[in-house]
Structure formats: C-alpha cells, structure tokens
C-alpha cells in the first residue's frame, strides 16, 4: 500500500477526525497526520491498528511517549473503550472516569483552551440544530390556531348577519 492509499484508509477509519482530541479536518482546514500509537523507536509497526489519524498538536504533545503500564498508558482511540474512561461535560470539559482516563487527558492535554472553545462551539451548534425545528413546529401550531380562530370568527359574524337580517325582515313585515 502506498502512503497515499494508507492515508485514505486511516482518514476514513477515523472519520476525518483526530483520534485523540476529535478535531476534524474541516475545522482546521487541512489533512491531519499519521501517528504511530506505539512509536517506531519503541518497536511500533506500520500495522493499521498502530496508526492513528492525529492532529499536529496531539502528535507533538504525544511525541514518542510509550507505556504499557495499566495506570499510565495512553488510551487507543479504537482499541480501547475511551468513553468508559472519559466523559465530556456540558461545558465541553473532559472529565476522567478512571485513573487511566485522567492520565490520558492530562498527558495529551485534552482540555487545552482551543479544544474547550471548539467543544463549546459544537455543543452550541447542536443545541441550535435541536431548537430550530422545535421553534418552527411551535410557530406552525400557533398559526394553525389563529387560522382556526379566524374561521370561527367568520362563522359567528355570518350568524349575526343572518339574525339581523331576520329581525329586519320581521320589522318590515310589521309596517
Ligand atoms: Zn488532536
């Protein structure tokens, strides 16, 4: 497989996002990099499972770190169940659920200010996406109510007209 082909496979496998911090290509306007999860100098291979699609900041922050110690190793974005170790709070802050999660967040500096801003922006966009259809449907229902009330009001006016006509007719007949 050529480098280019391998890059394509990894981009798709990681949904065009950094495996560590989640920043997407379209959010930074460029391709990301390929990280060797287990660095080559620590015996890492070019196996697909050892290649992580990764932004340059995470790549530089991680550098050639390697540990197999269960308390201070990094989580593999695909082979580990990351969400069992880390939880994203309402404000975009990543909160560890386990000591391993805490080490991972700390070692990769996953709460760096730029990432907090990005996650808050995403949460805001998500809230907006959810709120807009809800508001639209509420407005539609209110418009429907107005139409219904207008129809009723026309009916009542017609009823009044009929009554007045009847009264006029009776008055004329009496003359
Ligand atoms: Zn990253």
Look-up: residue for tokens 């700390």? 106
The domain limits of the chain are 3-111
Taking the centre of ligand 1 as the mean of its atom positions, its distance from the CA of residue 131, in whole angstroms, is 29
Q: Report how far residue 78's alpha carbon sits from residue 127's, in angstroms, rounded to the nearest whole number.
A: 27
Look-up: residue for tokens 């190793």? 73
Taking the centre of ligand 1 as the mean of its atom positions, its distance from the CA of residue 84, in whole angstroms, is 19
Residues with Cβ within 8 Å of 67's Cβ and at least 6 positions away in sequence, in order, are 73, 74
pLDDT-derived band at 174 (thresholds 50, 70, 90) equals confident
Neighbours of 34 (CB within 10 A): 18
Considering the entire predicted model, what is its pTM? 0.77
Taking the centre of ligand 1 as the mean of its atom positions, its distance from the CA of residue 41, in whole angstroms, is 21
Report the pLDDT averaged over residues 83-93.
95
Taking the centre of ligand 1 as the mean of its atom positions, its distance from the CA of residue 20, in whole angstroms, is 5
**Per-residue pLDDT at 4:** 87
pLDDT-derived band at 175 (thresholds 50, 70, 90) equals confident
**Per-residue pLDDT at 155:** 96
Task: Say yes or no to pLDDT of 108 above 90.
Answer: yes
Report the pLDDT averaged over residues 132-141.
95
**Per-residue pLDDT at 2:** 84
What are 85's two structure tokens?
């170790």
**Per-residue pLDDT at 30:** 95
Taking the centre of ligand 1 as the mean of its atom positions, its distance from the CA of residue 152, in whole angstroms, is 61
Q: Report how far residue 99's alpha carbon sits from residue 106's, in angstroms, rounded to the nearest whole number.
A: 11
The full DSSP string for 79-94 is TS-GGGTEEE-TTS-E
Question: For residue 102, what is the enclosing H or E element?
Answer: helix 99-107
């Amino acid at each position: 497989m050529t480098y280019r082909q391998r890059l394509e496979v990894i981009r798709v496998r990681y949904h065009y996002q950094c495996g560590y911090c989640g920043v997407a290509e379209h959010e930074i306007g460029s391709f990301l990099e390929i990280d060797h999860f287990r660095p080559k100098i620590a015996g890492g291979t070019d196996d697909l499972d050892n290649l992580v699609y990764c932004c340059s900041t995470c790549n530089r922050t991680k550098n050639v770190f390697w540990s197999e110690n269960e308390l201070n190793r990094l989580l593999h974005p695909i082979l580990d169940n990351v969400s069992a170790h880390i939880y994203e709070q309402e404000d975009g802050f990543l909160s560890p659920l386990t000591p391993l999660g805490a080490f991972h967040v700390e070692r990769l500096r996953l709460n760096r200010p730029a990432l907090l801003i990005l996650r808050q922006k995403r949460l805001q966009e998500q809230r907006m996406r959810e709120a807009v259809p809800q508001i639209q449907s509420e407005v539609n229902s209110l418009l429907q109510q107005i139409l219904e009330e207008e129809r009723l009001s026309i009916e009542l006016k017609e009823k009044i007209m009929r009554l007045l006509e009847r009264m006029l007719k009776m008055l004329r007949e009496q003359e």
